[in-house]
Every structure is written in structure tokens, then in C-alpha cells.
Amino acid sequence: MTRLLLGVTLERICKAVLLLCLLHFIIIMILYFDVYAQHLGTHPFSNSSRPNGTVPSYGPAGAEAPSPSAKPSANQSATEKPLQPCQETPPGLVGRLLIEFSSPMSMERVQRENPDVRQDCLPRQKVAILIPFRHREHHLKYWLHYLHPILRRQKVAYGIYIINQFGEDTFNRAKLLNVGFLEALKDDEEYDCFIFSDVDLIPMDDRNLYRCYEQPRHFAVGMDKFGFRLPYAGYFGGVSGLSKSQFLKINGFPNEYWGWGGEDDDIFNISLNGMKVSRPDIRIGRNRMIKHARDKHNAPNPQ
């Protein structure tokens, strides 16, 4: 009798486990179907069938935005219509994106996917994207693979600056970003927006517009590392943006933070006094992080 009851109990447990597995499988399929449906153009925010493909829009690294008053060049067709200002909300956004890091990635592939980029409207801002860097070539390839198409769909006139710290001394993210700000302006003094991004963070929704706002902007609201939640109210790390005037007002990032962490909290709690940080909706501000071990010579700052 005891064996019979035990057998019945085990049978019920097995059935329950199978039902849970089936339910999990159905939920996963629904999520993937939702993402792929957006890519096929069935999502209300979708106008593109290839969210990570190349599209004829504006935004090569280092490209210059044409002036609204610029005259046509000699080789420009007389019948060619002048470019109109880009819309406030770009029409080609696709919404949530499927981000994965399992496919092999090479710089040759990135170059092949972005052979030529032309403007089809006058961008509202000129954006310099600054990436503090050391020994992260693998991450950089994925970042470029995903961000080039996103930025082009967002109609951004952008330049990408990789600020590499030479040698093996303790890493200083904030100082690298200050260097990047100055070097970008040497390259083109017309930059009016600066976005400071870690190389291992990829936005999961192209409606998270990489542009500057009236207030400092924090783009990386929810990371998979933190369960897609803001880890704490004063978090300003990962990806943030400041206009040229905002950056000059706070006199840049603090140079004293050596090692991982601290400089973004300093900015939020001290430097931005009198300014209010703006953020996208948590459903739009999601980011995926490329998993990696702790970098050498970038131990957490004990202070």
C-alpha cells in the first residue's frame, strides 16, 4: 500500500514538472515571437524589417552634419531637393531588439554591414559618443555591430571616440571621458551633445534615443545584470549624456577616482546639484551587458 501511494505521488510530481516545463517553453516562445514580430514589422512601433541591417540614413562616425543654409555643391543635381529637418520622433524605429552575443563577430563584418551611410534629413544634434577603453576589442565589435544601425535609425549625426588607456596602471574611467570630450571638440567644435558609454552595454530598444535633453540624461535605466531595475535612485552609470553646456557647467568628470566605481555617483550627488536627471521609461531603457570577468587593474574603488 505504501509503495502504491509512493508511486502515485511520484507520478503526480512528474506530471507537475512536465507541466511547468511546458509552461516555461510556451512563455519563452511567446516572448521570442513578440520580438521577432516587431522585426517583421507587425509591432505598432515598427517600420523596418531588419532592425540590425543597414538603412540609408545619416550617421557615419565622424561625419559632419550639413548646415541648413548650405548651398548645393557643384556636382549636386539641380533638381535634388534640399534636406528637411529630421522629425522629433524618427519614423524608422523598431522598438525592442533581440540582442545576443553568441554569433561570431569581427571588425570586417561590422565594416561590411556599414559600407556607406548617407543623410536623408538634417539631424537635430551633433553627437559625440565617448567610450573609455582598455583590452575590450571583443566587446567593441559587438557594440559597433548593434549601435551603428540603431544610431542611423535614430537619425543621429554622430562620431564615435574610443579613448584607450595605455599601459597597465589602475584604470580611470572619468579622466578618459574628460580626455574624450576635449579631443572630440578638437576634431569638430560643432559637437553639442556628448554621450558617455561603457563598451559592454547594448541598448535593447532603439526608442531609447541617443540625444541630449534639457536636463542631464541617464540612458541605462535597467540592465539585465540588475534584473532590469535601477539598482538605486542615484545611479548614473553605464550610459549617460550631457550637452556641451551641461558638461562645462559641472567642469567635467572628477579626475580623482581610480579603479571601478564612484565617479558617476559623485556626478549625480555633487556636480549635478541644481539639475534634475531625466531617464527614459524603464521598458525602453533596458540594456544588455556582455558578461566578462573583472578587469585587471580596475578593482572596485574602496572609497
In SS3 terms, 84-152 reads as CECCCCCCCCCCECCCCCCCCCCHHHHHHHCCCCCCCCECCCEEEEEEEECCCHHHHHHHHHHHHHHHH
CATH topology of domain 127-289: Spore Coat Polysaccharide Biosynthesis Protein SpsA; Chain A (3.90.550)
The predicted structure's pLDDT at residue 68: 38
Pairing of strands 157-164, 222-223: unpaired
Q: How far apart are CA 220 and CA 216, in angstroms?
A: 13
Q: Report pLDDT for 2.
A: 65
Of 16 and 75, the one with more pLDDT = 16
- Annotated catalytic residue 281: no
Active-site choice (109, 224, 266, 289): 289
Q: Specify whether 198 is catalytic.
A: yes
250-289 pLDDT, tens digit per residue, is: 999 988 888 877 787 888 877 787 788 999 999 999 999 9
Q: Indicate the pairing of strand 193-197 with strand 126-133.
A: parallel
12 is annotated as an active-site residue: no
| Banded model confidence at residue 211, pLDDT cuts 50, 70, 90 | very high
Position 31 scores a pLDDT of 52
All structural domains of the chain with their residue ranges: 127-289
Give the pLDDT confidence score for residue 101 in this predicted structure: 84
Catalytic residue among 50, 256, 292, 295: 292
- 266 belongs to the catalytic site: no
Minimum mean pLDDT range among 159-168, 202-211, 273-282, 289-298: 289-298
Provide the pLDDT confidence category of residue 142 given band limits of 50, 70 and 90.
very high
Give the residue-averaged pLDDT of 185-210: 96
For the ranges 5-9, 119-123, 244-248, 261-265, the one whose mean pLDDT is highest: 244-248
> Among the options 263, 279, 286, 288, which is catalytic?
263
**Sorting pLDDT into bands at 50, 70 and 90, what band is 299?**
low
pLDDT averaged over the chain? 79
Closest CA to 205 of 188, 187, 228: 228
pLDDT of residue 302: 63
Look up 263 and say whether it is catalytic. Answer: yes
pTM (2 d.p.)? 0.69
Report whether 290 contacts 136 (CB < 8 A).
Answer: no
Higher-pLDDT residue of 35 and 148 is 148
Of these ranges, 11-20, 107-116, 225-234, 235-244, the one predicted with the greatest mean pLDDT is 235-244
Active site residue 260: yes
Choosing from 138, 260, 266, 283, the catalytic residue is: 260
Residue 126's φ and ψ, nearest 5 degrees, are: -115, 120
Q: Is 205 an annotated catalytic residue?
A: no
Residue 69 backbone zone (phi > 0: left; psi -120 to 50: alpha; other: beta): alpha
Exactly one of 264, 279, 286, 288 is catalytic; name it: 264
Look at residue 297 in the predicted model and tell me its pLDDT: 59
d(CA 48, CA 94): 6
Angle at 293 between CA 102 and CA 239, to 5 degrees: 75
- What pLDDT is recorded for position 202? 94
Looking at per-residue pLDDT, the higher value among 185 and 120 belongs to: 185
* Span of 113-122, 130-139, 194-203, 228-237 with lowest mean pLDDT: 113-122
What is the per-residue pLDDT for 39? 43
Question: CB of 177 within 8 A of CB of 163?
Answer: yes
pLDDT of 40: 42
pLDDT band at 295 (very low <50, low <70, confident <90, very high): low
6-58 residue pLDDT tens: 677 778 887 887 777 677 667 666 655 554 444 443 333 333 333 444 333 33
pLDDT the model gives residue 67? 39
At residue 147, the pLDDT reads: 95
Residues 6+ apart with CB under 8 A from 264: 235, 236, 237, 240
Q: Is 289 a catalytic residue?
A: yes
Angular region, 86: left φ>0, alpha ψ -120 to 50, beta rest: beta
Which of 198, 217, 279, 286 is the catalytic position? Answer: 198
